[in-house]
A and B are shown apart, each in its own frame.
Chain A
Amino acid sequence: MDLHYSAEDLAFRDEVRSFLETSYPDHLRSRASRDEVTKQDFLDWQKILYKKGWGAPAWPKEYGGTGWSSTQKYIFQEECARAETLGIPPFGMSMLAPVLMAFANEKQKSYYLPRIIDGTDFWCQGYSEPGAGSDLASLKTRAEKDGDSWVINGQKTWTTLAHFADWIFVLCRTDPTARKPQEGISFILVNMNTPGVEVRPIITMDGGHEVNETWFTDVRVPLENIVGEENQGWTYAKYLLVHERSGIAGVARSKKAVERLKHIASIELDRGEPIIRNPEFARKVAELEIDLTALEFTELRTLAREAQGKGAGPESSVLKIKGTEIQQRLTELTLEAVGVYGAPYFRGFPMEGGNQFPIGPDYAHHSAPAYANMRKTSIYGGSNEIQRNIIAKMVLGL
Chain B
Amino acid sequence: MDFNFTPEQDTLRDQIARLVRDQNDFDTRRKVSRSEPGWRPALWSQFAELGLLGAPFSEEDGGFGGSAVESMIVMEEFGKGLVIEPYLQTVVIAGGFLRHAGSAAQKEDHLASIIGGERVFAFAYSEPKSRFDLNDVSTTARREGDGYVLNGHKAVVLAAPFASHLIVTARTSGAQRDKGGVSVFIVPKAAKGVSTRDYPTVDGLRASEVYFENVHVPSSDLIGEADHGLPLVEAVVDEAIAALCAEAHGAMKVLNQTTLDYSKTRKQFGQPIGNFQVLQHRMADMFMAYEQSVSMTYMVTLKLGEPETARKMAASAAKVQIGKAGRLVSQEAVQIHGGMGMTDELNVGHYFKRITMIESQFGNTDWHLRRFTELSNG
Do B278 and A375 have beta carbons less than 8 Å apart?
Answer: no
Instruction: Please pick, from A158, A340, A379, the residue contacting B126 in the complex, using a CB distance under 8 A.
Output: A340
Do B201 and A344 have beta carbons less than 8 Å apart?
Answer: yes
Q: Which residues of A contact B128 (CB under 8 A)?
A: 341, 360
Chain B at the A interface: mostly helix, strand, loop or mixed?
mixed
Do A205 and B342 have beta carbons less than 8 Å apart?
Answer: yes
Q: Which residues of A contact B155 (CB under 8 A)?
A: 340-341, 360
Q: List 24 A-B contacts (CB under 8 A).
A: A135-B268, A158-B339, A203-B343, A205-B343, A205-B352, A205-B353, A211-B339, A268-B131, A271-B131, A272-B133, A335-B360, A336-B360, A336-B366, A340-B126, A342-B357, A343-B202, A343-B207, A344-B156, A346-B199, A346-B200, A351-B199, A359-B156, A379-B342, A385-B276
Do B199 and A349 have beta carbons less than 8 Å apart?
Answer: yes
Chain A interface residues (CB < 8 Å from chain B): 128, 131, 133-135, 138, 157-158, 202-205, 207, 211, 268-272, 275, 278, 280-281, 335-336, 339-346, 349, 351-352, 357, 359-360, 368-369, 371-372, 375-376, 378-380, 383-385, 388
Task: Tell me if B102 is interfacial: C-beta within 8 Å of chain A.
Answer: no
Task: Tell me if B356 is interfacial: C-beta within 8 Å of chain A.
Answer: yes
Do A359 and B341 have beta carbons less than 8 Å apart?
Answer: no
The interface bits of chain B over 344-378 (1 if a CB of A lies within 8 angstroms of the residue's CB, else 0) are 11001110110011001000101001100000000
Which residue of the partner chain B has the closest CB to A376?
A: B342
In angstroms, Cα B263 to Cα A143, docked, is 31
Nearest 3 interchain pairs by C-beta: A205-B349, A135-B268, A203-B344
Q: Which residues of B contact A360 (CB under 8 A)?
A: 128, 155-156
Give the interface residue-count category, chain B.
35 or more
Instruction: Please pick, from B200, B356, B370, the residue contacting A280 in the complex, using a CB distance under 8 A.
Output: B370
Q: Which residues of A contact B132 (CB under 8 A)?
A: 339-340
Residue picked from A202, A345, A360, most chain B C-beta under 10 Å: A345
Chain B interface residues (CB < 8 Å from chain A): 126, 128-129, 131-133, 136, 155-156, 158, 176-177, 197-203, 207, 209, 267-270, 276, 278-279, 331, 334-335, 338-339, 341-345, 348-350, 352-353, 356-357, 360, 364, 366, 369-370
Q: Which residues of B contact A357 (CB under 8 A)?
A: 197
Do B360 and A375 have beta carbons less than 8 Å apart?
Answer: no
Which residue of the partner chain A has the closest CB to B176?
A: A272
Given A271-B136, A360-B156, A372-B352; 18 other pairs, CB 8 A cutoff: A135-B270, A138-B268, A204-B349, A211-B342, A270-B131, A280-B369, A280-B370, A339-B132, A339-B360, A343-B207, A344-B200, A344-B202, A345-B199, A359-B156, A368-B356, A372-B202, A379-B335, A380-B339
Do B335 and A378 have beta carbons less than 8 Å apart?
Answer: yes
Instruction: Please pick, from B126, B197, B279, B335, the residue contacting A359 in the complex, using a CB distance under 8 A.
Output: B197
Known: A372-B352, A372-B353. A204 touches B343 (CB 8 A): yes
Q: Which residues of A contact B199 (CB under 8 A)?
A: 344-346, 349, 351, 359
Instruction: Please pick, from B268, B276, B341, B353, the residue contacting A368 in the complex, using a CB distance under 8 A.
Output: B353
In angstroms, Cα B266 to Cα A383, docked, is 15
Smallest beta-carbon distance B377→chain A, Å:
15
Known: A202-B343, A204-B344. A371 touches B360 (CB 8 A): no
Smallest beta-carbon distance A130→chain B, Å:
9
Q: Which residues of B contact A204 (CB under 8 A)?
A: 342-344, 349
Instruction: Please pick, from B177, B268, B366, B370, the residue contacting A134 in the complex, using a CB distance under 8 A.
Output: B268
Do B338 and A379 have beta carbons less than 8 Å apart?
Answer: yes
Q: Which residues of A contact B129 (CB under 8 A)?
A: 269
Smallest beta-carbon distance B355→chain A, Å:
11
In angstroms, Cα B155 to Cα A375, docked, is 28
Do B356 and A375 have beta carbons less than 8 Å apart?
Answer: no
Do A379 and B156 have beta carbons less than 8 Å apart?
Answer: no
Smallest beta-carbon distance B152→chain A, Å:
15
In angstroms, Cα B177 to Cα A368, docked, is 28
Do A340 and B131 have beta carbons less than 8 Å apart?
Answer: yes
In angstroms, Cα B276 to Cα A310, docked, is 33
Q: Which residues of B contact A385 (CB under 8 A)?
A: 276, 278-279
In angstroms, Cα B339 to Cα A211, docked, is 10
Known: A343-B201, A375-B334, A378-B335. A207 touches B156 (CB 8 A): no
Do B131 and A128 have beta carbons less than 8 Å apart?
Answer: no
Do A372 and B339 have beta carbons less than 8 Å apart?
Answer: no
Q: Which residues of B contact A371 (CB under 8 A)?
A: 356
In angstroms, Cα B132 to Cα A75, docked, is 41
Known: A270-B131, A340-B155, A375-B331. A369 touches B339 (CB 8 A): no
Do B339 and A157 have beta carbons less than 8 Å apart?
Answer: yes
Do B344 and A379 have beta carbons less than 8 Å apart?
Answer: no
Which residue of the partner chain B has the closest CB to A134?
A: B268
Q: Which residues of A contact B353 (CB under 8 A)?
A: 205, 368, 372
Smallest beta-carbon distance B68→chain A, Å:
25
In angstroms, Cα B189 to Cα A296, docked, is 54
Do B269 and A128 have beta carbons less than 8 Å apart?
Answer: no
In angstroms, Cα B338 to Cα A202, docked, is 14
